[in-house]
Structure 1
Amino acid sequence: MITSEQREKLRGWFAGRLPDDLFEELVEVAVDREEITVIGRVPAPRLAGDASAAEREAAVSARIQEFRERTREARMAVARDAEHRFRRKVSWGVVCGGERALFTHVAAPVMTRLRQPERQVLDTLIAGGVARSRSDALAWCVRLVQRHTDDWLAELRESLEHVQRVRAQGPDAQEAQEAGDAHDAEDAQDSPDA
């Protein structure tokens, strides 16, 4: 579990490491066990006020593609540094003209055991054309839960961070610190310079 402070440091690292002209604004830095996703805002294409929806959609799509190709080397350099430092893959995305697009990103496999009633839910989604496979159906379910429980999940994450802080202050943490201090003192006494 990543703490709020770790997220802030990560966001700060990217804000400092990204070239100034890469994004208009750093919109989001999301992180989990496998991946860091960096999303920035790029300028929307300039169009006439009476441009059609189709024209706007095509222009935004072209702008995103142009950005992706033009900035590939710079993004790869940042990703290499981040992957070495944070031990996670880096994925990229942009927000442009109200559209959000993710570039290549990690699709981590998740193994689970489902009982028949749960499998029947997934199979119903497949039969209804909502998903192509049980994997797609499960991902659809996760997105649906996420959409409807963002506040609850945020509160749960805050609670987990609190638990981590309390554990770090517990008696085991104090004993580990004291053992480390004693070991450092022994090393200093054994040193020929001491």
Structure 2
Amino acid sequence: MITTEQNEQLRSWFAERLPVDIYESLLSVTVDREEITVVGAVPAAESVAAFRERTREQRMEVAREAEELYRRKVSWAARSGEETTLFTHLAVPVMTRLRQPERQVLDTLVAGGVARSRADALAWCVRLVGRNTDTWLTDLRESLDRVQQVRAEGPDLTDSQKSES
């Protein structure tokens, strides 16, 4: 879990390294265990496809540096108007960890036409939960930040191991 402070540092890192002409504005930098996702607004006159092609080399250069530094893959997205398009992102397998009752829920969503596949159904469920529990998830993330802070303020394990020797 990454703290709010670490997330802000990460955002600042990208803001400093992205060339001025890549995004009209940097909208968000989101991180989890596997991936950093950078989202920015494209100029109104430019399509996402044109933006993607025009900025590919620059984004790849920044991504290589970030991946080496942060040990996570970097994904990119662009927002044009109200639509956000993710165009280089990871798909982490989770289906193998679901039990049959959970898979049946996903299969029901597929059979009902809500989703095209189990993966789409799972993504739909995650979006639904995220939308309906935004406040609760925010509180949980803040409490995890506090846990990290308390851990950091605790005794250094190497000091106690030295005294036991």
Tell me, yes or no, if the aligned pair for 1:24 and 1:41 is still in contact at 8 Å: yes
1:73 aligns with 2:57: yes
Check if 1:86 corresponds to 2:63.
no
Are 1:114 and 2:99 counterparts? Answer: yes
User: Structure 1: which 4+ aligned runs deviate by more than 3 Å?
Assistant: 177-180
Q: Distance in 2 between matches of 1:119 and 1:80?
A: 36
Given that 1:43 and 1:97 are in contact with CA atoms closer than 8 Å, whether structure 2 keeps it comes out as no
Q: Which residue of 1 aligns with 2:125?
A: 141
Tell which deviates more after alignment, 123-132 or 79-88. 123-132
More displaced, 71-80 or 129-138? 129-138
* 2-structure distance, mates of 1:177, 1:40: 45
Size of the alignment, in residue pairs?
A: 162
Separation in structure 2 between the aligned mates of residue 148 and residue 177 of structure 1, nearest angstrom: 45
Structure 1: runs of 5+ lacking an equivalent: 46-61, 183-194
Q: Runs of 5+ in structure 2 lacking a partner?
A: none
CA distance in 2, matches of 1:73, 1:4: 30
Percent identity of the aligned residues?
63
Aligned mates of 1:78, 1:44 — CA distance in 2: 24
For 1:18 and 1:137, locate their aligned partners in 2 and report how far apart those are by CA, in whole Å: 34
Q: Deviations over 1:113-162 (max 9, x none)?
A: 3243x333222112101123333322221111111112211110110110
Confirm whether residue 41 of structure 1 aligns to residue 26 of structure 2.
no
Structure 2: distance between partners of 1:15 and 1:159: 27
Query: Structure 1: which amino acid aligns with 2:151?
Result: R
Tell me, in whole angstroms, the C-alpha distance in 2 between the residues paired with 1:13 and 1:179. Answer: 36
Residue number in structure 2 paired with 1:130: 114
Q: Report the equivalent of 2:32.
A: 32
Given the two structures, how large is their TM-score scaled by the length of structure 1? 0.76
Matched position secondary structure for 1:2 = coil
Task: Specify whether residues 134 and 63 from structure 1 end up closer, same or farther in structure 2 by C-alpha distance, changes over 3 A only.
Answer: closer
Taking the TM superposition and a 5 Å limit, the aligned residue runs for 1:154-173 are 154-171=138-155, 173=156
Instruction: Compute the TM-score of the two structures, normalised by the length of structure 2.
Output: 0.89
Aligned CA-pair RMSD: 1.9
CA distance in 1, matches of 2:118, 2:26: 35
Aligned to 1:176: 158
Residue aligning to 1:19:
19
- In the alignment, the residues of structure 1 paired with residue 62 and residue 154 of structure 2 have an alpha-carbon distance, to the nearest angstrom, of 37
CA separation in 1, counterparts of 2:160 and 2:12? 32
